[in-house]
Amino acid sequence: MAHNPERRTALVDAAIEVLARQGARGLTFRAVDAEAGVPKGTASNYFTSRDDLIGQVARHIHVRLGPDAQELEAAENAPRTRDALPAVLTALYQRVTRERTGYLALLELRLEATRRPEVREILTEAIRANLQRDIDYHLASGRPGDDTTVVVLYLSLSWLIVEDLTLPGVLADYPPEHMVKVLTGLLVPPD
Amino acid sequence: MAHNPERRTALVDAAIEVLARQGARGLTFRAVDAEAGVPKGTASNYFTSRDDLIGQVARHIHVRLGPDAQELEAAENAPRTRDALPAVLTALYQRVTRERTGYLALLELRLEATRRPEVREILTEAIRANLQRDIDYHLASGRPGDDTTVVVLYLSLSWLIVEDLTLPGVLADYPPEHMVKVLTGLLVPPD
DNA sequence: TATATAGTACTTCGTATGTAGTGGTTGCAA
DNA sequence: TTGCAACCACTACATACGAAGTACTATATA
């Protein structure tokens, strides 16, 4: 069993791409090899089994979930008024469209979680932590609304993203920018 | 090619179960045969290819999406006040937990839609129609709120359902009944 | 009796997998 | 500096698994 950490990471990243593009059905060692541009058989040398590979993907994908350092800093420095909310949400939305494959892979993993307790535990922990961080941040920022405000935002935006990624035609009459405005109006009522 | 319509429907239903329980990876003719309790090779006789099978599943699954006749009637007769909203939403939620496999299969199909234009078209049309029906019904009922109210509900409840089906631990502190109340309070402000 | 479908069994095919074997590189010690 | 040892990249192969489809038989119904 080989242990080159960079190569291992590259293989996991390649597996995420494969998951998003070909679905769980297409996730094979050979497909990962091809995606990573390494010789056939390499993934066999780095993961004991397909399950092992999926577990490592679940552990690794959370780094693609959260905002990057730059984005966190921008949010930190933004004015703490309701007017800032649309900008934050728009930034989130842009990140999603950038990380399209990452979010699709995460959806595949969620479905995998219904079948594999190990994946369920890993993802639950990672996503809970992300949500809690958002709630804490929001409460500490002094912006209007309580923890359920953040949860409602999480719910709405999550499905807005799914709809956009999978069946963009469904909400053609209700584009994301519009729905973000609607949500802002609902959650942050005028004084 | 055999044409027994009941058997064909049974096979499609079985395919939905397989999709939900084993994922897209497990959807093979043989698995469908086993799930439907028919001899091996039967699915081969009813569908020209795996693609064909998936297409027919996409066309058929919309009958599991909407409320059944009984539920529609109950909604029709319910008092048209804001107080009725939680009851309607609770009914929806109960249907979802009943039709667990159907909703999981639909999620699988959504991911399949990112790869198959045919599936994308079929699902987009069916889900658009469902949403439009909900919007029309809501507007005609004279309940408070406009079309975006319904869309926000659709977004929030959809992800609430996904979270519950895939990673129920994430929102352990925010159970569905509570979030339904929160949403009601947001969307239907007191007079 | 004829036709269509149910059911059985077999053959073929594709492809994933894991490993054995080879070559090259790096690090360490003499 | 040179030689050796360990490790990893890479190639190629042999195996195995399971899906698919089809040919064949049985059965029921019109």
Tokens 């990624």 appear where? A165
Q: Is the pLDDT of residue A65 over 90?
A: no
Q: What is the pLDDT of residue B128?
A: 96
Distance CA B25, CA B48 (A): 19
Residue A186 has pLDDT above 70, yes or no: yes
Q: Same domain, yes or no, for A156 and A76?
A: yes
Token reading at A59:
């552990």
Question: Predicted confidence band at B81 (pLDDT cuts at 50, 70, 90)?
Answer: low
pLDDT digit string (tens) for A130-148? 999 989 988 988 778 899 9
My answer on whether B120 and B180 are in the same domain is: yes
Q: What is the mean pLDDT of residues A53-79?
A: 81
Closest to B127 measured CA to CA, from B61, B54, B51: B61
What's the CA dihedral at B126, B127, B128, B129 to 10 degrees? 50
The domain boundary residue, chosen from A38, A61, A84: A61
pLDDT digit string (tens) for B159-188? 999 999 999 999 999 999 899 989 988 887
Which uninterrupted H or E stretch holds B168? Answer: none
Which chain B residues are closer than 8 Å to A187 by Cβ? 186
Look at residues A61, A79, A95 and tell me which one is the last residue of a structural domain.
Answer: A61
Q: Does residue B23 sit in the same domain as residue B104?
A: no
Separation in Å, CA A155 to CA A33, A117, B48: 36, 23, 40
Are B104 and B40 contained in the same domain? no
Residues with CB under 7 A from strand C: A 28-31, 40-41, 44-45, 49-50; B 2-4, 7, 38-42, 45
Count up the domains in chain A and report the number. Answer: 2
Average pLDDT, chain B: 90
Residues A50 and A130 in one domain: no
- Looking at the fold, whether B72 and B46 belong to one and the same domain comes out as no
**Contact assessment for residue B102 and residue B20, using Cβ atoms and an 8 Å cutoff:** yes
Q: A89 and A56 in one domain? A: no
Distance in angstroms, CA of A27 to C1' of D16?
19
* DSSP for residue A39: -
The answer to whether the CB of B149 falls within 8 A of the CB of B89 is no
* Residues of chain B found within 8 Å of residue A186, distances taken between Cβ atoms: 152, 186-187
Are A133 and A77 within one domain? yes
Structural contact between residues B162 and A159, judged by C-beta atoms closer than 8 angstroms: yes
CATH number at residue B45: 1.10.10.60
Give residue A20's pLDDT band: very low, low, confident or very high (50, 70, 90): very high
Interface of B with A in 101-160 (CB under 8 A): 104, 107-108, 110-115, 120, 123-124, 127-128, 131, 148, 151-152, 154-160
Helix (H, G, I), strand (E, B) or coil at A145: coil
Please tell me whether residues B53 and B109 are part of one structural domain: no
Please tell me the least confidently modeled range out of A45-49, A186-190, B42-46, B153-157. A186-190
Give the DSSP letter of residue B188.
S
Nearest-CA distance A79 → chain B (Å)? 25
- Is pLDDT above 60 for B191? no
Same domain assignment for residues B174 and B102: yes
Which strand C bases fall within 7 angstroms of a protein CB? 4-10, 15-20
Distances (CA, A) of A67 to A72, A99, A133, A161, B56: 6, 11, 11, 15, 40
Helix axes A100-113, A50-65, angle to 10 degrees: 130
B148 vs A contacts (CB less than 8 Å): 174, 178-179, 182
CB contact under 8 A, A25 and B22: no
Q: Looking at residue B140, which CATH number applies to its domain?
A: 1.10.357.10
The pLDDT of residue B97: 81
Whether B110 and A162 have beta carbons less than 8 Å apart is answered as yes
Report helix, strand or coil for A4. Answer: coil
Residue where one domain finishes, among candidates B46, B61, B76: B61
Examine the domain organization and report whether A47 and A71 are in the same domain: no
**DSSP for A88-141, written as a single string:** HHHHHHHHHHHTHHHHHHHHHHHHHHTT-HHHHHHHHHHHHHHHHHHHHHHHHH
**A–B CB contacts, 8 A cutoff, strictly below:** 125
- Which domain does B57 fall in, by range? 5-61
Q: Does the beta-carbon distance from B174 to A152 stay under 8 Å? A: no
A contact residues 53-92, partner B, Cβ 8 Å cutoff = none
**Residue B55 sits in the same domain as residue B78:** no
